[in-house]
Every structure is written in structure tokens, then in C-alpha cells.
Homo-oligomer: A and B are copies of this chain.
């Protein structure tokens, strides 16, 4: 998809906030078509409006788009994924496994086996403070990016599996000491569509005044 600057600026601006929140789900089946740089910039800019302690804005975004570099990540990611998910994968193939969870596992498997095809691997890193990652700022920024992808029609999902080889990735990305990656978002034009994901009722997790034993 070719988009001039004006088209990039307009794209997704009309999507409503609450409806967008309710219909943002992980889209892990992505087309290999490239994503315009202006659009990567637009969704990452949404990330910068997240809150951060003392407005320190610790986030740093690194968009990996070169084919050979994506393949480098994909090879390691696939290996880590299969090591991590192996047991769950066998269970998910049993007929008795809950269908919604099976779809979830199989979609994650598809992503792992086709990661090199995702046109953008967006790494989110962040400056640490007092030797701690500022996750309370980085994950709100990530959620803003996922919602912005929803708005402009890009498919995206949040993964943290690469952290099992995080030090290797951080060095490969040229990140300085004290600014590790915490997540990777594979982004591209989706094969699936946005819609309301499967969730428990809010009434199962909202309490007034005091937590009540769950039934």
C-alpha cells in the first residue's frame, strides 16, 4: 500500500476510542507487504502519549524491517517459542482442549513459524531507573501502539518471548547498557480482522471496597 503524507495523517482518525479498545485483539497472521515508514512513525507516536513517572518518557522504539535482520530474529524466536510452548502445543491438539484457547495457541504458533514474513518487528526498549525497567511506562506505551495499529488497520500483537535471548538481541540492536528491550510487536497488514476478543465478564473481576473470594 502506497500512502502519501496526507493519507497517513488521515488514516484511522475516525475510529472511535471505546469501540476501538473493545475490538483490538492480537492479529498474528500478517501479509508480507511492506508498511509505509510514515505509518510506523504514526503508531509509535501514539506510544509517546502514555504516562511515565516524572514524564521521563523512557521508551525507545526500534523498527526492524530489513529482510535479513527479520530472519535473524525469526530463527531465534521460533526456537525459543517451541522450547517454551512445546507442552502446551501438544495439549492444544487434544480434542478436549477448549476451542478459544486452541485458536490462541495455534495463532501464536503460526506467528512463530512465519515471523520472518512480518514486515515490521517493532522492539520496545526503555531506560531503566534505579536498576529497574520502567515497565509501568513501557506497557501503557505499547498498548497505545496496539490501539493505534487497530485504528489505522495494521495487525499487531504483543510478544515477550524474545526476552529469553534478550541480551543477545539488545546487543544486536546496539542498545546501550541500561536500556533493554521488554517486548516485540510484529506488525503488518493483517489477514484476519479486528473484532471483540473473548474475555470474562467485567463483573468477575471488579470489586467494590474489598476483594471478594472468587467462585
A positions within 8 Å CB-CB of B: 12-22, 24-26, 37, 40-41, 44-46, 48-51, 53-55, 57, 59-66, 69, 88, 100-101, 104, 125, 135-136, 138-140, 142-144, 146-148, 150-151, 157-158, 160, 173-176, 179, 182-183, 196-200, 202-203, 205-212
Contact = CB atoms under 8 A, between A and B. Distances in A.
Contacts of A175: 211
Given A21-B147, A51-B157, A140-B158, A62 B101 contact: no
Task: Name A's interface SS.
Answer: mixed
Contacts of A208: 37, 62-65
Copies assembled: 2
Among A18, A125, A197, the one with the most B-chain Cβ atoms within 10 Å of its Cβ is A18
A170 to B, nearest CB: 9
Contact of A48 (B139, B182, B202): B202
A146 B138 CA distance: 15
Contact of A12 (B14, B18, B101): B18
10 contacts: A13-B18, A21-B148, A54-B104, A57-B199, A57-B205, A61-B205, A136-B158, A136-B160, A173-B210, A174-B212
A151 B44 contact: no
A26 B51 contact: yes
A11 B26 CA distance: 27
Given A24-B49, A60-B205, A136-B158, 17 more contacts: A12-B18, A17-B151, A18-B148, A22-B49, A55-B101, A57-B200, A59-B205, A62-B209, A62-B210, A64-B209, A65-B208, A125-B211, A136-B139, A136-B160, A140-B142, A173-B210, A173-B211
A206 B120 CA distance: 13
Contact of A16 (B13, B40, B125, B179): B13
Contact of A198 (B25, B55, B139, B140): B55
B21 A176 contact: no
